[in-house]
């Protein structure tokens, strides 16, 4: 699922000033990289990344203003390409007349910000990387347990939402139920959130839809959370061999990121909420360097060696 980001989103989210009134604010911003066209303004447009948002700072504006009028107009025409989403001027610098004429004629938005160039580029880059990050929607429940973002998956009716409800009652925080929108914001980093339509809602079969924030308070929910562990619930199969020691660690690949995966068989009498809590605590222990299964194996090996001696 690709997020479509428009120039009008930048205008609103960064409180920018629009210099061309009759312009196309529905132009799409398709890449998170920005362009500060210094070498292009000197006349070298061979590798001009026209599909990027163009940023003009004090240096660029001062250089342009020092060019002859005819050269300045030629450079502005080369700067304003059909696929250029918008041009943003930093530091409240005045826009060259030639730029306004060409951009307004081609309906390319010219925006202005009072922020200095470096600071604005930093803020805009972070914003674009988050907004344009690859996304995927997965059927499941995302919950924050002891600071660990756990994605609970499994077939319909297996008990994911009921487990989440019990965890919320035990003081943990719900992020999303039924549909989890996952964004890959960086390498090996997945951020999960709920679609706005079902945010803070939990569906319990036989009971219906409940609002977790209304029932349990604002401390029972989170807007988003980094996913670090996947727990898959499946019906107990007596013919299947399940992991008993925890030495073999499975992985689940979501987009380009592999996440540790634990499969938990469901049968009457198993307290799934407690198992999820223990899985979260055990995951944190592993991060700190303690692995219970490996310690047990080491003890067993040592005992066997002593027996042989």
Question: Average of pLDDT values for 12-26?
Answer: 93
Let me know if residue 301 belongs to a domain. Answer: no
Q: What is the pLDDT of residues 31-51, one digit of tens each?
A: 999 999 999 999 999 999 999
Strand partners, 230: 151, 261
pTM across the whole model: 0.74
Q: Are residues 88 and 154 in the same domain?
A: no
Q: What is the pLDDT of residues 60-70, one digit of tens each?
A: 999 999 999 99
Query: 3-class SS at 76?
Result: helix
The answer to whether residues 143 and 167 touch, using CB atoms and an 8 Å cutoff, is: yes
Catalytic residue among 21, 238, 244, 267: 244
Q: How confident is the model at residue 1 (pLDDT cuts 50, 70, 90)?
A: very low
pLDDT of residue 120: 97
Of residues 119, 194, 211, 114, the one with CA closest to residue 151: 194
Residue 178 is a catalytic residue: yes
Rounded CA-CA distance 54/9 in Å is: 16
Give yes or no for residue 203 having a pLDDT over 80.
Answer: yes
Residue 97 is a catalytic residue: no
Strands of 96-214, DSSP E: 110-112, 135-145, 148-154, 173-186, 189-193, 201-204, 208-211
Of residues 160, 287, 271, the one with CA closest to residue 228: 287
The proportion of the chain whose per-residue pLDDT surpasses 90, expressed as a percent, equals 76
Let me know if residue 30 belongs to a domain. Answer: yes
Catalytic residue among 123, 178, 284, 291: 178
Which of these ranges, 3-17, 179-193, 241-255, has the smallest mean pLDDT? 241-255
Does the annotation list 250 as a binding residue? no
pLDDT of residue 2: 53
* Residue 219 Rama label (left phi>0; alpha psi -120 to 50; beta): alpha
Q: Which domain holds residue 258?
A: 135-295
Give yes or no for residue 221 having a pLDDT over 60.
Answer: yes
- Which CATH number fits the domain that encloses residue 49? 3.40.1390.20
Let me know if residue 303 belongs to a domain. Answer: no
Q: How far apart are the first and last CA of the chain?
A: 62
Tell me which of 291 and 142 has the higher pLDDT: 142
Distances in whole angstroms, Cα of residue 220 to Cα of each of 144, 146, 227: 9, 12, 18
Q: What is the pLDDT of residues 258-305, one digit of tens each?
A: 999 999 999 887 899 999 999 999 999 988 888 777 787 888 788 887
The proportion of the chain whose per-residue pLDDT surpasses 70, expressed as a percent, equals 97
Give yes or no for residue 188 having a pLDDT over 90.
Answer: no
Q: Are residues 126 and 202 in the same domain?
A: no
Rounded CA-CA distance 2/136 in Å is: 9
Please name the residue that has the structure tokens 């929910």: 221
Give yes or no for residue 30 having a pLDDT over 80.
Answer: yes
Q: How many domains does the chain have?
A: 2
Dihedral pair phi/psi, residue 65, rounded to 5°: -65, -20
Does the annotation list 149 as a binding residue? no
Does the annotation list 161 as a binding residue? yes
Let me know if residue 272 belongs to a domain. Answer: yes
């Amino acid at each position: 699922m690709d997020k479509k980001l428009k120039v009008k989103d930048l205008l609103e989210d960064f409180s920018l000033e629009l210099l061309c009134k009759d312009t196309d604010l529905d132009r799409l911003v398709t890449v998170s990289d920005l362009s500060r066209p210094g070498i292009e303004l000197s006349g070298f447009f061979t590798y001009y990344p026209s599909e990027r948002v163009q940023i003009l700072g004090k240096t660029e504006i001062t250089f342009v203003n020092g060019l002859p009028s005819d050269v300045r107009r030629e450079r502005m025409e080369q700067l304003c390409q059909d696929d250029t989403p918008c041009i943003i001027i930093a530091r409240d610098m005045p826009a060259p007349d030639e730029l306004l004429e060409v951009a307004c004629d081609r309906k390319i938005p010219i925006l202005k910000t009072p922020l200095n160039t470096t600071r604005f580029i930093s803020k805009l880059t972070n914003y674009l990387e988050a907004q344009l990050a690859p996304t995927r929607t997965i059927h499941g429940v995302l919950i924050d347990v002891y600071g660990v973002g756990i994605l609970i998956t499994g077939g319909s009716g297996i008990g994911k939402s009921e487990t989440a409800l019990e965890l919320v009652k035990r003081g943990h925080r719900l992020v999303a139920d039924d549909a989890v929108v996952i964004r890959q914001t960086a390498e090996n980093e997945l951020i999960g959130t709920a679609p706005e339509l079902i945010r803070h809602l939990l569906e319990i079969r036989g009971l219906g839809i409940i609002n977790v924030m209304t029932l349990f308070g604002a401390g029972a929910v989170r807007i988003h959370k980094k996913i670090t562990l996947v727990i898959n619930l499946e019906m107990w199969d007596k013919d299947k061999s399940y992991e008993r020691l925890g030495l073999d660690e499975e992985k689940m690949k979501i987009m380009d990121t592999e996440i540790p995966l634990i499969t938990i068989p469901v049968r009457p009498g198993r307290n799934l909420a407690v198992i999820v809590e223990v899985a979260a605590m055990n995951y944190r222990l592993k991060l700190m360097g303690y692995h219970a299964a490996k310690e047990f194996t080491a003890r067993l090996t040592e005992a066997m060696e002593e027996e042989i001696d």
